[in-house]
Amino acid sequence: MILDVLSPQNGELEGWQKASLLTPFCDEIITFLHAFSDRLLGEQQYKAFPELVALGFWLRERHIRSFYEQLNGLHKPLGQVVHFAPANVDTMFVYSWVCSLLMGNKNIVRLSSKDSALKQTLISVLNSVLAVKAFRHIAAANLFVSFSHHSEWSQKLSAIADARVIWGGDDSVQQIRAYPIPPTCRDITFADKYSAAIVNGNQLKSHADTVSLAEHLWRDTKPYMQQACSSPRVIFWLGDQSQQIPLLNSLNERAKDFQALNQLNQHVVTGQWLRAQCSQANVLIESAICAVSVSRLSRAYLDMHMGGGLFYIRHIDDIEQIASELDSKCQTLCYAGIEKGALIKVLANPSITGVDRVVPVGQALDFETTWDGISLIHALSRQIVVR
């Protein structure tokens, strides 16, 4: 039953248990995150990973300090927080960990055993920053570990947790939630989700408009090839369709250097399956990306979606139609050419049980401290009521 400590170097569980909690938003935490950001943005080798560059910008001191404005009154750390990181998005664990760190908690982050160059690079950066003597208290209070799904560590760590942050598919979340926890432990779960975009074709008045929209959609797709829950997999198309194929062709050009053969094969299989399910399903493009026009959405269609640059195109006549199309698993709705006020009015409909974020196309992957409708800053702290 091996607990492999990936970071910090020489980190160990016994020392972590003895480490002290920190004051929320204290100078040591802010300075550490500033150094982490500088390392990611300042060294040329990390520019090969756009996910690390995006993380570096998110960690900028001015941005981090803005989170403090969300706090009202006196907040204290919860205590020991155990994070179960997702396997499909290598940098996602950092965002929720930073929210917990800012609130002064001690953290153990269980990383997936799935390896990648991005993950190795990120751990290397963490090791180098945590090795700085000025950050020794943070190094003592935070561990990044790996262990087998079949080991007893998930159960052991759950037994001492004051909070668990659980990322993963529905089955993984249910498995971890089955482990006993202390009566006051908080579970913060992020299970299976998908996202969508709504595009007003009437606003695509020029080739430049179409190219710009393709660039923004690709920004939401490229980093994780739709494995991130906030990347749009469905495009609701409102109005004029004349720029639809040019948009898809422009997206396809951007995707040509990023596709693997297994993803292309999966596109073919999914397109064939959709046509077998619905005679009105129409493959619009099947190349580096795949776009299939569908007459309706269903849970089966969404479950069949494996990412990799596959888009379901759903034509609508009015934005109010999305009220009957979106289910509780829809996380982010991106918009282009749609008046935000009109969209908010539709989303206020109580029948819409999904949609936790509404952002312009191109901002789907921008992490916010409120995620899936949960304020992590508040959920990972204890607020003291003073009258």
- Domains defined for the chain, CATH in brackets: 4-192+372-384 (3.40.605.10), 194-360 (3.40.309.10)
Residue at 216: amino acid letter: H
Q: Extract long-range pairs of 313-316: CB within 8 Å, 24+ residues apart.
A: 313/235, 313/237, 313/244, 313/284, 314/234, 314/235, 314/236, 314/237, 315/236, 315/237, 315/241, 316/198, 316/236, 316/237, 316/238
Provide the edge-to-edge strand list for the sheet that holds 186-190. Answer: 4-7, 142-146, 106-110, 80-84, 163-167, 186-190
Classify burial at 373, counting beta carbons within 10 Å of its beta carbon; exposed 0-12, middle 13-18, buried 19 or more.
exposed
Q: Sign of dihedral through CA atoms 222, 228, 234, 240?
A: negative
- pLDDT per residue as tens digits for the range 9-19: 989 999 999 99
Below-70 pLDDT ranges, the chain: 1, 259-262, 279
Q: How far is CA 211 from each of CA 18, 69, 221, 246, 248, rounded to the nearest angstrom?
A: 55, 37, 15, 8, 10
Residue at 118: amino acid letter: L
- pLDDT per residue as tens digits for the range 65-119: 999 998 988 999 999 999 999 888 888 889 999 999 999 999 999 998 888 899 9
* pLDDT for the residue numbered 50: 87
Query: What is the signed CA dihedral for 166, 368, 123, 181, rounded to 10 degrees?
Result: -20
* pLDDT for the residue numbered 128: 96
Where is 71: in which H helix or E strand?
A: none
* pLDDT for the residue numbered 256: 85
* pLDDT for the residue numbered 1: 67
Neighbours of 163 (CB within 10 A): 26
Q: Sign of dihedral through CA atoms 49, 125, 151, 372?
A: negative
The residue with tokens 């179409």 is: 210
The residue with tokens 């690079």 is: 121
For residue 331, give both structure tokens.
Answer: 């996380």
Strand partners, 383: 75
CA–CA distance, 380 with 180 (Å, rounded to integer): 19
Query: What is the signed CA dihedral for 59, 89, 156, 164, rounded to 10 degrees?
Result: 60
